[in-house]
Structure 1
Amino acid sequence: MILLYAVAGAGITACALFMILSRNLVRMLLGFSLLATAVNLLLFLAGGAGSGQPPIIADDAETLGAASDPTIQAMILTAIVIGFALTVMTGVLILRTWRAKLTLDARKLEAASRLGAPRTNDPTDA
C-alpha cells in the first residue's frame, strides 16, 4: 500500500511540474497546488502511514511504539493551510493580471522587465 502511495505521489509531482512549466498562469497556479498536494502526500508517507495505531503512549510503556508520528501530521495540517492561502493569494493576483492585461500568457506580461533595474535610495537625495 505504501508503494501505491509513493507511485501516486510521484505521478502527482510529475503532473504538477508539467503544469508549472506551462506559460498559462492558471495552469501554473494549479500546478503549484498539485505540487503542494504531492509534498503533503510524501510527508504523510514519511510519517509512517503503514501503522494503524494512534500515537498514544501506553501506561506501562516509556516510549511510543510502532505508531504514526504526530509531528508529521501537524506539519501536514500546517502545510495545507499555507498552501490554501498561497493558492488564494496567487489566484487574486492572476485575476488582477487578467483584468489589467486581458491575457493569461506569461510571455506577454513583460511590463516589469521594461522598467529596468531597481533604483537605490541615496540618503543624500531629498
Structure 2
Amino acid sequence: MTQFVLAAVLGTLFALGTFLVLRRDVVRVVWGVTIISQSANVYLVTMGGLSGGVPVLGHGGHGGGHAVTDPLVQALVLTAIVIGFGTTAFALVLTYRVYQEHGTIDLLELGEKA
C-alpha cells in the first residue's frame, strides 16, 4: 500500500511539473522544471532503499542493529538540491532581466519580438 501511495504522489508531482513546463509564462516554466527535478530527487531517495548494513555506532549497543539507508544516495540528492536551488535562482534572475528588457515574460510574445 505504501508503494502505491508513493507512486501516486511522485506521478502527481511529475504531472504538475510537466503541466507547468507547457505554460506560456516563463516563471511557470521555471517552477515546472524545479518541481520535476525535486520529484526526481524524492524518487531517488525513496528508491535508495536499505543497505542492510549496521551503522558504525551500532556495534557499541547504541544503534540496535537496525538496517540503515544508503548514505551515498542521500549525499548525491543533497548535492542535487543545492545545485537545483542555485539554478532556479539564476533562472528567476534571468527571467526578471527579460521582463525588464522586453516588458513581458510571455513566451509567444518574446518569440515574436526576436
- For 2:18 and 2:30, the matched residues in 1 are separated by 11
CA contact (8 A) 2:55 2:67 kept: no
CA contact (8 A) 1:5 1:41 kept: no
Moved runs in structure 1, 4+ residues, more than 6 A? none
- For 2:74 and 2:101, the matched residues in 1 are separated by 41
Q: Which residue of 1 aligns with 2:41?
A: 40
Q: Counterparts of 1:15-94 in structure 2 under 5 Å?
A: 15-48=16-49, 56-57=55-56, 58-59=58-59, 66-94=67-95
TM normalised by structure 2 equals: 0.81
Which structure would you say has the larger Rg? 1
- Structure 1 unaligned residues grouped into runs of 5+: 60-64, 115-126
- Structure 2 unaligned residues grouped into runs of 5+: 60-65
- For 2:109 and 2:93, the matched residues in 1 are separated by 19
How far residue 111 of structure 1 moved from its aligned partner, in angstroms, is 7.2
Q: Which residue of 2 aligns with 1:4?
A: 5
Higher helix fraction (1 or 2): 2
Question: Root-mean-square deviation (CA), in Å?
Answer: 2.7
CA contact (8 A) 2:22 2:29 kept: yes
Give the partner amino acid of 1:42. Answer: Y
